[in-house]
Amino acid sequence: MNYLIKPPRFLFFTGKGGVGKTSIACATAIHLAETGQRVLLVSTDPASNVGQVFGIHIGNQITAIPSIPLLAALEIDPQAAAQVYRNRIVDPVRGVLPDAVVKSIEEQLSGACTTEIAAFDEFTALLIDSALTDAYDHIIFDTAPTGHTIRLLSLPTAWSGFLEAGKGDASCLGPLAGLEKQRSQYKAAVDALANPERTRLILVARAQQATLREVARTHEELAAIGLSQQYLVINGILPSIEADHDALAAAIFQREQTALNTIPAPLKALPCDFVMLKAFNLVGLDALRHLLIESPPHIQVAIDAPIELNAPNLSELVNGIAADGHGLVMLMGKGGVGKTTLAAAIAVELAHRGLPVHLTTSDPAAHLTETLNGVLNNLTVSRIDPQVETERYRQHVLDTKGAKLDEQGRALLEEDLRSPCTEEIAVFQAFSRIIREAGKKFVVMDTAPTGHTLLLLDATGAYHREVSRQMSDSSVHYLTPMMQLQDEKQTKVLLVTLAETTPVLEAANLQADLQRAGIEPWAWIINNSLAATVTHSALLHQRAMNELREINAVATQHAKRYAIVPLLKEEPIGVTRLLELTGALATKNGNF
């Protein structure tokens, strides 16, 4: 592997959700540890599943990995980090300041902005020389999906610049109170990230044209903020031998080879490694040890008969959605499970039935227009662009609040609005505006990967609590976005997953998080299922057999209702293929 030649101390694995970042990061950590290096594996993903991959609980503390003496792991838990951060600021003033003042500080520290700052604070602590990291030769970062990671890696510069300029009367005064003491830590983090002798970035992708285009954009964006030492790993490539006698395998192989032959120009100069698709689930030490083997033996599996299932397809779920005539439909789940495609398919099907639909996304890395590749009556498409929404919010505040200020006050306000926390407020407001449309039409929302979505919902919950507090003594009727999300008559949450161990576990964890917030998922969708197809490829058939346990778990343990969408020969891009996807025969008569 090229990226393992003379590796520097810091290795970052990033890329679109679902491409295998966690598996490759874990396999790399095992490899380095078993060659005598002391390794710390760190997850910065708010929806981390490193512990699930190793089959142990890790959490927000450095934990030794059994059977690998030189390997330890840490999952940065944003909520736990936020609580530690809050305590660090609030505890010294308890009993010193009036209770009302302490309560006000706690309220300022209750939002998603504090959560992000706290996780970022822990992240930068790992990039500096300290007692915390001195024991390790390598620190490997398994990062969140692309959009979240670009924000994380740009935050040291953003916060350093904001603090250097002075924060004025920042609305994020509470969260920022703990940042002043960290200036030197953030500068050291910026220096470490920009030093190619200390930091290497590994872009993980699949052999898919859309994924490779996104990786090319990521490459350029990260290079622009100083991360120049980049490598490319293309994961999960189907071996050519599997395509010899199977139509589905041949279609997948051809699709992958076309993507590799037309790789975007910015990526051609990067050192590149290829990881072949494996027949086994990437959970447990033995599986991870075999992941980076370049030429695994060809799998031999007897295929006695096609796998038969008996489960609803996507069209049946759409029937239930359409019956209400309007409402919010939110697709949530782990990155890479196909939320964008399924959101587009559901929106296209509803519009095709003559219903007005607004299709939107809160995912910084989503590309709805590429998936639709066309127009349709009754369908409008939009994207919550954080940069656009932040600029719109800043301008609105300057035009309203700023119009009443003198020159000095306006200058302070402009400084306040340069805080990275401003983005949180702006994105939440855009989210709220779109939710309100669902009273008259269908709004289908493709959300960001799990962790990023939970932060947005955290902001929604904070707003709801504040409105409820202010209205507690009033008889005026009010409706917050959170109340709408909690009402199944107005909002249907669809959890999207794959029939694999880690995606199903993550979807189940997301469902538990939503339920704690009073949001009950309406249905699950198992996407890209091999078990719902007919294949004569031994490798694909084995992977299909592996799916049955997870499909059964969804059907019997997790979901009130569910649907299975098969893996298709042709990528579902364009209105026609999306319509075929909603009506595709996803199952055949049979048992689990």
More confident residue, 126 or 205: 205
- Enumerate helices (H) and strands (E) in the chain, giving the number of each: 23, 15
The yes-or-no verdict on residue 584 having pLDDT over 50 is no
More confident residue, 80 or 270: 270
Integer Cα distance of 286 and 283 in angstroms:
8
Confidence at residue 480, expressed as pLDDT on a 0 to 100 scale: 63
Mean pLDDT in residue range 178-203: 75
The yes-or-no verdict on residue 124 having pLDDT over 80 is no
Q: Tell me whether residue 22 is one of the annotated catalytic residues.
A: yes
% of the chain residues with pLDDT over 90: 31
CA atoms within 13 A on the CB side of 513: 22
| β-strand partners of 327 | 442
The yes-or-no verdict on residue 390 having pLDDT over 60 is yes
Confidence at residue 108, expressed as pLDDT on a 0 to 100 scale: 66
Q: Which of 57-66, 176-185, 193-202, 386-395 has the lowest mean pLDDT?
A: 176-185
Q: Tell me whether residue 450 is one of the annotated catalytic residues.
A: no
More confident residue, 463 or 30: 30
Sign for the pseudo-dihedral over CA of 571, 576, 579, 585? negative
Confidence at residue 421, expressed as pLDDT on a 0 to 100 scale: 61
Judged by DSSP in three states, 498 sits in strand
Of 212-221, 251-260, 481-490, 566-575, highest mean pLDDT:
251-260
Q: Which of 133-142, 304-313, 336-345 has the lowest mean pLDDT?
A: 304-313
Burial class of residue 580 (count of CB atoms within 10 Å of its CB; 0-12, 13-18, 19+): middle
Q: Tell me whether residue 502 is one of the annotated catalytic residues.
A: yes
Note the pLDDT tens digit of each residue in 93-121.
888 888 877 777 776 666 656 666 676 67
Binning pLDDT at 50, 70 and 90, where does residue 464 land?
very low
Mean pLDDT in residue range 175-196: 66
Q: Are 505 and 455 in contact (CB under 8 A)?
A: no
More confident residue, 578 or 367: 578
Of 10-24, 145-159, 259-273, 560-574, highest mean pLDDT:
259-273
Confidence at residue 472, expressed as pLDDT on a 0 to 100 scale: 52
% of the chain residues with pLDDT over 70: 78
Question: DSSP characters for 215-237?
Answer: HHHHHHHHHHTT---EEEEEEEE
Confidence at residue 424, expressed as pLDDT on a 0 to 100 scale: 65
Joined tokens for residue 524: 């699950």
Choose, from 23, 154, 160, 480, the residue flagged as catalytic.
23
Mean pLDDT in residue range 234-257: 93
Choose, from 15, 16, 22, 450, the residue flagged as catalytic.
22
Alpha-carbon 322 to chain mean position = 28
Note the pLDDT tens digit of each residue in 399-411.
988 888 888 888 8
Integer Cα distance of 527 and 341 in angstroms:
10
Q: Tell me whether residue 35 is one of the annotated catalytic residues.
A: no
The yes-or-no verdict on residue 342 having pLDDT over 90 is yes
Burial class of residue 534 (count of CB atoms within 10 Å of its CB; 0-12, 13-18, 19+): middle
**C-alpha dihedral (22, 26, 28, 30), degrees to nearest 10:** 180
Mean pLDDT in residue range 425-452: 78
Domains in the chain, please, with CATH? 2-291 (3.40.50.300), 314-385+428-583 (3.40.50.300)
Which amino acid makes up residue 433?
R
Q: Tell me whether residue 130 is one of the annotated catalytic residues.
A: no
Confidence at residue 195, expressed as pLDDT on a 0 to 100 scale: 85
More confident residue, 133 or 528: 528
Choose, from 43, 422, 502, 537, the residue flagged as catalytic.
502
Q: Tell me whether residue 21 is one of the annotated catalytic residues.
A: yes
Q: Are 514 and 352 in contact (CB under 8 A)?
A: no
Choose, from 14, 15, 17, 21, the residue flagged as catalytic.
21
Confidence at residue 478, expressed as pLDDT on a 0 to 100 scale: 44
Note the pLDDT tens digit of each residue in 481-526.
667 778 888 899 999 999 988 789 888 988 988 888 788 999 999 9
The yes-or-no verdict on residue 172 having pLDDT over 60 is no
Binning pLDDT at 50, 70 and 90, where does residue 588 land?
very low
Alpha-carbon 550 to chain mean position = 21
Which amino acid makes up residue 585?
L
Alpha-carbon 216 to chain mean position = 18
Note the pLDDT tens digit of each residue in 280-319.
877 778 888 888 876 555 555 556 556 777 888 899 999 9
Strand residue runs (E) in 109-192: 138-142
Confidence at residue 186, expressed as pLDDT on a 0 to 100 scale: 66
Binning pLDDT at 50, 70 and 90, where does residue 163 land?
very low
Residue with tokens 């694909």: 540
Please report which helix (H) or strand (E) contains residue 70, including its range.
none
Note the pLDDT tens digit of each residue in 530-577.
999 988 898 999 999 999 999 999 999 999 999 999 998 888 888 888
Binning pLDDT at 50, 70 and 90, where does residue 388 land?
confident
Choose, from 17, 20, 147, 402, the residue flagged as catalytic.
20
The chain-wide mean pLDDT, for the chain, equals 80
